[in-house]
Amino acid sequence: MEQLEEELTCPICCGLFEDPRVLLCSHSFCKKCLDGLLEGNRGPAFRTPFKCPTCRKESPHNGANSLQINYSLRGIVEKYSKIRMTTKGINSAPWRRRTSEKEAFEELRGVESWQSADILSCLETLQASKKKALQSVTKDAEEVTDYFDRLISAIEGKKNEILSDFETLKLVVLQAYDPEITKLSAAVEEHQRALSIAESFRGVSDPLCFLQQMQEFREKLGILKETLPPSRKDMDVGLPVRNFDVKKWDSLRLREVDKISVPHGCGAAPTERGAHG
């Protein structure tokens, strides 16, 4: 600190720089000190080059105000002055240090008298309770997961079972309707063919061709006579499942999932019609 203070001391007044001004030779001096020197030189020689008190190098001037302010040096001096004031304050009030030491000692004694054993015991109890609670929650969560896994598996199995039943019902419907539909569709085609042959008779003049078409016409007519439409009663095969509604399952409890089923109310499949009678 002493060496730094020497660097921050004006060579003229031997005090810390105040508003330092720098000459061309780079030496700095307090403005008030330069004002005093320049004031003593005022006269015929005023405005003549000023000789640096340190190195005697001449510097032109127009009074101390015209010289460049040494901002860097001024900033350093201000910071140094604040530090020195703080240090003086500490040195001039030793009772403050003693008070701080006493307070620190009292706080230390308070820490030593703190009921660390009781606190540690409470901490251990809390940690043990936390562990037990977490284990319980984890166990319950695992049971919930297992329960829903089994429930989902049961529901998925029941779903596949019911859908399989519906596939069987589709097959029943196809077996009930397709044979009659196929037979009647063929009869309609034969009827159309017979009408076409009958219409062509009008333009036939060749006896041989007429006989051939007549023979084909009689065959078609025989098929039509043998194919009679089924009765209304026979056509009423009935719905495979009557009044089916999945909302009926809403009243079932979760444990009754196995009771879900398709209410089979299949109508009788059509049997051989009295088509030949």
According to DSSP, the residues that pair with 21 across neighbouring strands are 29, 69
Are 88 and 176 members of one domain?
no
Structure tokens at 4: 């730094």
Say if residues 64 and 35 touch (Cβ distance below 8 Å): yes
111 inside domain: no
Are 79 and 187 members of one domain?
no
120 inside domain: no
Intervals of the chain under pLDDT 50: 44-45, 95, 265-277
Are 6 and 75 members of one domain?
yes
DSSP string, 168-232: HHHHHHHHHHHHHHHHHHHHHHHHHHHHHHHHHGGG---HHHHHHHHHHHHHHHHHHHH--PPPH
The whole-number pLDDT of residue 93 equals 52
128 inside domain: no
130 inside domain: no
Domain of 144 in residue numbering reads as 137-276
Separation between Cα atoms, residue 27 and residue 12, nearest integer Å: 12
- CATH code of the domain covering residue 48: 3.30.40.10
Contacts of the segment 63-71: beta carbons below 8 A, 24+ positions apart: 63/35, 63/38, 64/21, 64/31, 64/34, 64/35, 64/38, 65/31, 67/21, 67/22, 67/23, 67/31, 67/34, 68/21, 68/22, 69/19, 69/20, 69/21, 69/22, 70/17, 70/20, 70/21, 70/22, 70/28
Structure tokens at 131: 């562990």
122 inside domain: no
Separation between Cα atoms, residue 239 and residue 264, nearest integer Å: 10
Q: Which of 31, 66, 93 is the last residue of a domain?
A: 93
**16 CB-near residues (< 8 Å, 6+ apart):** 5, 8, 9, 10, 77, 80, 81
The whole-number pLDDT of residue 126 equals 93
Query: If DSSP codes are grouped into helix, strand and coil, which group holds residue 116?
Result: helix
DSSP string, 44-89: TTTTSPEEPTTT--EE--SSGGGSEE-HHHHHHHHHHHHHHHHHHH
Residue with tokens 């309609």: 188
Q: Which of 60, 93, 126 is the last residue of a domain?
A: 93
Structural domains in the chain (count)? 2
